[in-house]
Amino acid sequence: MTTRRTKTVQEHVQIARSFLENAGREFDAGDQLQGSEKLWGAATHAVTALAKQRGWRFGKSNARFRAVERLSEEENESFFNTGYWAAEQFHANFYHDFMEDDTIERGRPVVAEFVRRVLVLVESPEA
């Protein structure tokens, strides 16, 4: 039986960045399903990094959702809720392939901005 090592905050940051970059490549190659899942992965790893850094729960989907709600409240910024909701739509799209091209094109920058803003908070000196 192998024991899985827990990832560090910085490892989650790097994974989020990598997934965000890979999502762009997948979408550019025409693979909307893989692009959708990579975009979702970038968002969840960004939230996990933040939650882990702040000592918040993050292991389950509901805990990450609560972490985003808490972040929105603490930063007094509803965009975090909106950005995470958009990321969840891409996660659902991976399974159900329901998003139209124009919806994907409108949603991609929202999720990318969400990831960037969360990572800025993780990497800020006062974090």
CATH number at residue 79: 1.20.120.330
How confident is the model at residue 3, as a pLDDT? 61
Q: Are 110 and 83 in contact (CB under 8 A)?
A: yes
The number of domains in the chain is 1
User: Is residue 10 predicted with pLDDT exceeding 70?
Assistant: yes
- Convert the pLDDT of each residue in 36-52 to its tens digit: 999 999 999 999 999 99
**What pLDDT does residue 127 have?**
54
| 2 domain-assigned | no
Tell whether the model's pLDDT for residue 24 goes beyond 80: yes
Q: What is the pLDDT of residues 61-98, one digit of tens each?
A: 888 999 999 999 999 999 999 999 999 999 999 999 99
Alpha-carbon distance of 68 to 30, in angstroms, equals 30
Q: For 11-32, what is the mean pLDDT? A: 97
Question: Is the Cβ–Cβ distance between 90 and 111 less than 8 Å?
Answer: yes
Look at residue 1 and tell me if it is in a domain: no
In a domain, 119, yes or no: yes
Determine the Cα–Cα distance for residues 95 and 40; give it in Å rounded to an integer. 12
Residue 2 pLDDT grade (very low, low, confident, very high; cuts 50, 70, 90): low
pLDDT tier at 57, thresholds 50, 70, 90: confident
Residue 45 neighbours by CB under 8 Å, 6+ apart: 12, 13, 15, 16, 19
Q: Does the CA dihedral 26-29-31-32 come out positive or negative?
A: positive
Q: What is the pLDDT of residue 118?
A: 98
Instruction: Tell me, yes or no, whether 3 lies in a domain.
Output: no
Per the structure block, which two tokens stand in for 50? Answer: 């933040």
Residue 30 lies in a domain: yes
Q: Is residue 61 part of a domain?
A: yes
Q: Which range marks the domain in which residue 76 is found?
A: 9-123
